Structure 1
Amino acid sequence: MIRSREIVQEIEEIRQRGRYSTTRSELSTRLFDIERAFQRHDQSQKELTKYFPVAIIACIEVYFRMAIKDMVDSGEPFLDRAQSLPSGLKLDLSILKAVHGKVITIGEFIAHGIKISRLDHIERAITALLGVGFLTAIGTTTNRWASEIRGKPLAPILSNPDEVFNDVSRTFELRHIICHEIASAYEIDHEEVERCFRNCVTFLRAANELISETIHPGAPLTQTAMNIAAGESLMEAKRLLYKACENVRSRLNQGELLAFDESQEKWQSYCDAWALFVAGERSMGGTIWPVIYAGVAHATIDRRLEEVGKWKRLSDPA
């Protein structure tokens, strides 16, 4: 049996292996790389062809864990609905301490214990959180970018939902055969793999559109709009931190005030340096760099805001 401390460590390690702070960015980057590799690979290399069902199912499983995490961590009504999710993990004191200490989130813990090895597993979990049938909802999901930015008529992303769902289920089967059987007599059908791969990619994009719109309805679509929104959110976080710091400063004597201001100045240098480190070189980050930088800085400010907000003198009454 996996111990609670090992579960917490697993969740932390999974988070550390991600590059971006948002599910949408992680999915978009990974899908772009896999699609490009699929387009370039030699169809005669049948052993290499086996890689793609495995890779795309890995994307599906990881994406839906991240989506469950995002929905639960966004609060109600998803947090309440999460009680009905079947989980293989038990909540104990070690987990409670990790959540309380913000080592992991409630969403990460719940998502980590959900079984996602078939389409019906995904359907049950996401239906429970959405409060409506997931496969029905995804079948009518439209692409806001295509209609609002490119001016195309509104149309469902999945033109043939039943075919897509069948191919997603089939890809899970192919992944199982490839990963868990030698299957030396099994011949890979490249046409089937290609069709399943394409429909899995479409399925993921439709699911991401549905879930993103459910959590953040009407969110900015263009990179410029996202950059502006991220910058505005960061400015608001800075304003709240400034207000919290002023509240602390009003309660300090002269000696304490100098020490606090010095600590805040050093913290600000750390915040800037950490955000730059995670976001990487501006010239290499492309148009998404401001969103990544702002997201990291915002998270760091949130932690500092909690520290400052809870500060008390040791001599203060409890």
Structure 2
Amino acid sequence: MAKAGKYVLEERITEVRSRWQIGKADAAFFESSTRVNDLRRSLKAIKGTKNVELFRHFPVAAIALLEAYFRSVVSVVVDAGGDYFPRGLGMVGDKLKAAEAIAILHKKSVSIGEAVAYSLPFSSLGHLESTLDQLLGQSLKGLVKTAVDPHELRRQEPAPNLIVADVSALWADLQKIFEARHVLAHEAATKFDVSYDLASLSVESVSNLIEAIEAVLWSTVWKDEPLTQQELNRDAYSKYRDQRKQLSVVIRRKRKEFAGKRDAAEFRALHAQWKSWVERWARYNSERFEGGSIQPMIHASVLSEAYEIRIKQVQNVTGY
């Protein structure tokens, strides 16, 4: 923990990450879904309780969840580059000083996207909406109105179902939850009652918005990224194939440095053993998913990772 008065942005982000299950901004939807399910289970367990004080927890927890998701989304979108990067930097202005940005880039412990995300305010629905409007270059509310299941969109189904049936009603519900959260987080509010219905509305409204934003991202920022399992399998194999080609290039260059035939022969023998071991290791990892659609992706991903490491190993052989 940094000393009081010296609590820097980088340390804050690192601490937030440490409290996630996966610890990466691009796992935001998984983290959010997990938290939504936890809240639903807890709320179901106390339905009908006379201890209504427990219901006061849910608006606060739901908005905290939305804030975490919001910051992760901003981080991922800004780091996607293209027009999103300058838009993100433009939103923070003087809040992220040039010296801080340079230090972050140098250390590589957090990304610029994360620095932008954690420099932005989040205390109202307006903060979320205006930020994503600017970042996406389009109206978030307008995009949510047409948001559909990403898989249905990718399959080009003729009449995909809208994720949010009534966007105006959702916005009104969210505004109500933000107001309740503000009261509960900043006041004693002994006369402010939270019912089971309001607690449930808090969780479901936030969940609905997160699902809608996720769909919006798949139709904008991630529209060219693999989504279906078949696409993920092809993408994983393509990355493995590229790594394999790159390794071949590195090996051809390295051969020029061999001291003689004996040196070259030993390298070939060792490399053949490495290839055999890596293939067995990839099969071992993927066999646990035998018969599943995910198996080809696991196999190719393990190979790709191994080849990426091997490229560096060959490059770093003395004399390169």
TM-score, length-normalised on structure 2? 0.73
Cα gap change, 1:253/1:225 in structure 2, threshold over 3 Å: closer, same or farther?
same
In the alignment, residue 98 of structure 2 is paired with which amino acid?
A: L
- Following superposition, the deviation at residue 69 of structure 1 comes to 1.0
Match of 2:62 in 1: 56
Q: Which runs of 5+ in 1 are unaligned?
A: 277-281
Cα gap change, 1:69/1:59 in structure 2, threshold over 3 Å: closer, same or farther?
same
Computing the radius of gyration over CA atoms, which structure comes out larger, 1 or 2? 2
Q: Please list, as runs of the form range in 1=range in 2, the aligned pairs for 1:1-318 lying within 5 A after superposition.
A: 3=6, 6-16=8-18, 17-19=20-22, 22-44=27-49, 45-86=51-92, 88-92=95-99, 95-146=101-152, 153-217=159-223, 219-222=225-228, 224-225=229-230, 227-229=232-234, 231-232=236-237, 234-236=239-241, 238-239=243-244, 242-243=247-248, 245-246=250-251, 249-250=254-255, 252-254=257-259
Cα gap change, 1:34/1:309 in structure 2, threshold over 3 Å: closer, same or farther?
farther
2:68, 2:186 → 1: CA distance? 19
In the alignment, residue 133 of structure 1 is paired with which amino acid?
A: S
RMSD in angstroms over aligned alpha carbons?
4.2
- Following superposition, the deviation at residue 76 of structure 1 comes to 0.2
Cα gap change, 1:2/1:253 in structure 2, threshold over 3 Å: closer, same or farther?
farther
User: How many residues are aligned here?
Assistant: 300
- Following superposition, the deviation at residue 159 of structure 1 comes to 1.1
Cα gap change, 1:102/1:148 in structure 2, threshold over 3 Å: closer, same or farther?
closer
Q: Which runs of 5+ in 2 are unaligned?
A: none
In the alignment, residue 34 of structure 1 is paired with which amino acid?
A: L
In the alignment, residue 56 of structure 2 is paired with which amino acid?
A: K
Percentage identity across aligned positions? 23
Asked if structure 2 preserves the Cα contact closer than 8 Å seen for 1:64 and 1:122, the reply is yes
1:225, 1:30 → 2: CA distance? 28
Cα gap change, 1:301/1:112 in structure 2, threshold over 3 Å: closer, same or farther?
farther
Q: Secondary structure at the match of 1:92?
A: helix
1:296, 1:53 → 2: CA distance? 42
Please list the CA deviations of residues 154-208 of structure 1 after superposition, one character each: whole Å capped at 9, or x if unmatched: 2432111111111112212222222222222221122233234322211110011
1:97, 1:63 → 2: CA distance? 25
Asked if structure 2 preserves the Cα contact closer than 8 Å seen for 1:234 and 1:297, the reply is no
- Following superposition, the deviation at residue 121 of structure 1 comes to 0.7
